[in-house]
Amino acid sequence: MDPGVACHAGGVRHEFATAPGFVPRLLTGRTVMSLHGLNYPVPRTSLNHTALTLMLRLSTNDVPRRQRMDFVHDFVARHFLGLEFIPFDVDEIHVEMSACVLPGGTTLGSCQYPPMRGARPRWLLGDGRDGYLLTVHGSDHEVAVDGRPPVKIAAGDILIINQSVPFSFELAATMVTGATLAPNRLGTLVPRAERQPYLHIQRSAPEAALAVGYADLLRANPPADVKAARIAEDHLYDLVALSLGSQYVDIDQRGSSPAGNARLQLIRQDIEVHLRDPDLNVNTIARHHGVTPRYVQLLFEREGTTFSAFLRDRRLALAYNRLRREPTGRASIATIAYDCGFPDLSGFNRAFRKRYGATPSDVRATGSHGVTP
């Protein structure tokens, strides 16, 4: 969508992302959206602007009947969604839409549509949209993407379509929830996504319902500050990536993205600095780096391990080296365990023996200076 267009409602300037030709203005106490000479009045209550988010609600009920088809075709479809809509019954067309635009650029929305055909034709690809459109429909429908045969998408399934390729669809009357996703962010978490014209996630997939539910939660309850918005958007992308699962995540590419590798390296360094802190956990590290705990866990999972396992192993290595270096009697095994961040001596002993095949006392008895496990 093209930025730089504003709508004045109730004395507040609202920035919109639309195409050229959209001229909003205020007439006789009502917000009026004007497109190519046609005025579409929208009640004041349909616009809600905060310092962070823009809430937009549109309804054909607020548009004169003779202008509804133009409103749906020119504004809702083409200029807001980058699509073409062809309702089966142009005389009885009813569309309800609500959307929430987060500061990071993610748009979350829900739409109620009548039966229709729709498309993102090749000639519309020049509008600059290159992200992903995530949708969840309340009824079964078919989609044909980039010249491929139509595929059936069951009600409740997640469909993620690359907006840089043409596609078409046919809908029964339905309720749709969705989101726009930035290509660079999704590609960082799921590298293979950049090579796919569309991604299909069955509703039975682990985390699928959680991702959809979280998107709905954000739309209904937008974040209150910049930090919360950043964390919320990160978490949404994490959940979408988890929903894609092994179907689209290449094992040999896990952790291969530059952004993910850089973040993981910083997190590892942070863990090394705070190894001795018994209260160190994934929530603490996530706060340090301004990300979600699940995102931290995901970075380690791509390396074939977990945050907890990495933290435990680094603490064990620290304790191992101390036991090898320090003579008997200088510090008790319990003291060394506590100094290395283990709050429980019995848990330390079990983990140590499992890792090294010997007890802490056995390792101390061998004595060797400067040995690293």
Q: How much is the pLDDT for 301?
A: 86
User: What mean pLDDT comes out for the span 289-313?
Assistant: 85
pLDDT of 4-19, one tens digit each? Answer: 333 333 333 333 333 3
How many C-beta neighbours within 10 Å does residue 368 have?
A: 9
CATH code assigned at 57: 2.60.120.10
Q: 53 with 83, same domain?
A: yes
List, in sequence order, the alpha helices (H) in 192-292.
208-220, 226-248, 258-273, 282-289
Of all residues in the chain, the percent with pLDDT exceeding 70 is 77
Q: 122 with 211, same domain?
A: yes
Q: How long, in residues, is the chain?
A: 373
The confidence band for 52, taking pLDDT boundaries of 50, 70 and 90, is low
Alpha-carbon distances of 260 from 1, 29, 148, 160, 293, rounded to whole Å = 28, 50, 33, 22, 14
Is the pLDDT confidence value at 47 over 60? no
Q: Which of 204, 127, 202, 134 is nearest to 162 (CA)?
A: 134
Q: 197 with 311, same domain?
A: no
Task: Return the minimum-mean-pLDDT range out of 24-33, 51-60, 142-151, 235-244.
Answer: 24-33
Domain span holding position 244: 2-253
- Phi, psi values for residue 154, rounded to 5°: -75, 155
Q: 222 with 125, same domain?
A: yes
> What's the mean per-residue pLDDT of the chain?
78
Is the pLDDT confidence value at 20 over 60? no
Would you call 32 helix, strand, or coil by DSSP? strand
pLDDT of 141-162, one tens digit each? Answer: 999 999 899 999 999 999 999 9
The confidence band for 34, taking pLDDT boundaries of 50, 70 and 90, is very low
Task: Return the minimum-mean-pLDDT range out of 27-41, 152-166, 298-312.
Answer: 27-41
Q: 24 with 99, same domain?
A: yes
Task: Return the minimum-mean-pLDDT range out of 81-95, 291-305, 329-343.
Answer: 291-305
Q: 166 with 228, same domain?
A: yes
Please, are residues 262 and 188 in contact by the beta-carbon 8 Å criterion? no
Residue 120 in tokens: 């993102």
Final residue in a domain of this structure, among 253, 284, 304: 253
Q: How much is the pLDDT for 370?
A: 41
Task: Return the minimum-mean-pLDDT range out of 160-174, 189-203, 325-339.
Answer: 189-203
> Going by C-beta distance under 8 Å and a sequence separation of 6 or more, which residues neighbour residue 100?
53, 54, 55, 56, 107, 108, 109, 218, 219, 222
Q: How much is the pLDDT for 328?
A: 66
More confident site: 317 or 193: 317
Is the pLDDT confidence value at 276 over 60? yes
Is the pLDDT confidence value at 136 over 90? yes
Is the pLDDT confidence value at 215 over 70? yes
Q: 14 with 63, same domain?
A: yes
Q: 209 with 280, same domain?
A: no
Q: How far apart are CA 263 and CA 295, in angstroms?
A: 10
Q: How far apart are CA 319 and CA 336, in angstroms?
A: 6
**Model confidence, pTM:** 0.58
List, in sequence order, the alpha helices (H) in the chain.
68-70, 183-189, 208-220, 226-248, 258-273, 282-289, 293-301, 307-325, 333-339, 345-356, 360-366
Final residue in a domain of this structure, among 237, 253, 269: 253
**How many domains does one find in the chain?**
2
Final residue in a domain of this structure, among 253, 286, 319: 253
Q: How far apart are CA 192 and CA 248, in angstroms?
A: 6
Task: Return the minimum-mean-pLDDT range out of 23-27, 273-277, 335-339, 363-367.
Answer: 23-27
Q: 216 with 318, same domain?
A: no
Residue 355 in tokens: 């890792």
CATH code assigned at 287: 1.10.10.60
User: What mean pLDDT comes out for the span 251-256?
Assistant: 40
